[in-house]
Amino acid sequence: MSKLTFLLLTGLIPVIAFSQNITKIWESDSLFLKPESALYDSSKKIVYISNINGEYLAKDGNGFISKIKINGAIEVLKWIDGLDNPQGMGLYKNTLYVADINRVLEIDTNTSEIKKIYKVDSAKFFNDIASDTNGDIYISDCFANKIYKIADGEIKVWLESDFLSMPNGLLCTKDAVLVLNMKNQTAFSVNKFTKKAHEIFNGIDNLDGITSDGKSGFIVSGAWQGQLFHIDSKGNKKLIIDLGKEKIITADIEYIEKQNLLIVPTLNKTVIGYQLQMF
């Protein structure tokens, strides 16, 4: 029996109910080192976790990617290592893309090999990544107020606009790229083809991660204050989890609809799983 299973069965990990539909069901072993982003690979039933493991923006080679199971058990702590500051991730088929300061790593999830590195010398801080259903990859440069795009094996600036204000979290929908601005507390929907943008909500500090709720809304994180919000199809926001009093950070989150599972990296030493049913 694993340590995690023992703790869950004995009740040493408390189950915390935030409402009738939200329940903390597990917390990982405390082996992670600044876990920043979570991304689910449905083909392998594995969650990738990026670990900064060092000072922010330090090119120290300490960063790594972990693999965990959907019950929070660590499968491989250092699956891919030698990175600098791995942050957001995107997945297309069997290729994982990882933002790492001024480069994007392309990793074969079957062979665990880094197939290609897209390096942009002028980039300041690649933060999040979103993958499109056609294989296009979008990357936010948080400090340069730009969105990059990888298509046909090349990385180029896709969007540079006044409405970008420290863009962080990204999410692709059928026709748009959703962008969370950390600095001015706003979120925009940007048409992929015309690049026209409109605001979808505002008023949340430290916007970081965004994930689909599996229906017509989204879940977003206000990282440093430890808050998670549900955003409905009309842009109305509702605070669903507040970990601020516990001084827990909510970084780049993932929601697995079939499991009703919300995964929260804490930028400390653990990752937390919540049962979250959306009605």
Owner of token pair 């507040």: 242
pLDDT at 16 over 60: no
Domains delineated in the chain: 26-276 (2.120.10.30)
Burial class (CB in 10 A: 0-12, 13-18, 19+), 86: buried
Going by C-alpha positions, the residue among 146, 76, 158, 150 that lies closest to residue 117 is: 150
Q: Taking residues 8-33, what's their average pLDDT? A: 66
Going by C-alpha positions, the residue among 204, 223, 270, 205 that lies closest to residue 49 is: 270
Residue 9: the pLDDT is 36
Burial class (CB in 10 A: 0-12, 13-18, 19+), 7: middle
Residue 20: the pLDDT is 41
Q: Taking residues 62-86, what's their average pLDDT? A: 98
Measure the CA–CA gap between 54 and 72, rounded to whole angstroms.
Answer: 23
Token code pair at residue 82: 């030698």
Measure the CA–CA gap between 220 and 207, rounded to whole angstroms.
Answer: 7
Q: Taking residues 145-167, what's their average pLDDT? A: 98
pLDDT tens by residue, 27-54: 999 999 999 999 999 999 999 999 999 9
Contacts of 245 (CB under 8 A, 6+ apart): none
- Lowest-confidence range among 9-23, 97-111, 154-168, 198-212? 9-23
pLDDT tens by residue, 235-260: 999 999 999 999 999 999 999 999 99
Residue 277: the pLDDT is 83
Measure the CA–CA gap between 70 and 74, rounded to whole angstroms.
Answer: 9
Token code pair at residue 106: 């392309």
Residue 74: the pLDDT is 98
Measure the CA–CA gap between 37 and 60, rounded to whole angstroms.
Answer: 19
* Average pLDDT value for the chain: 93
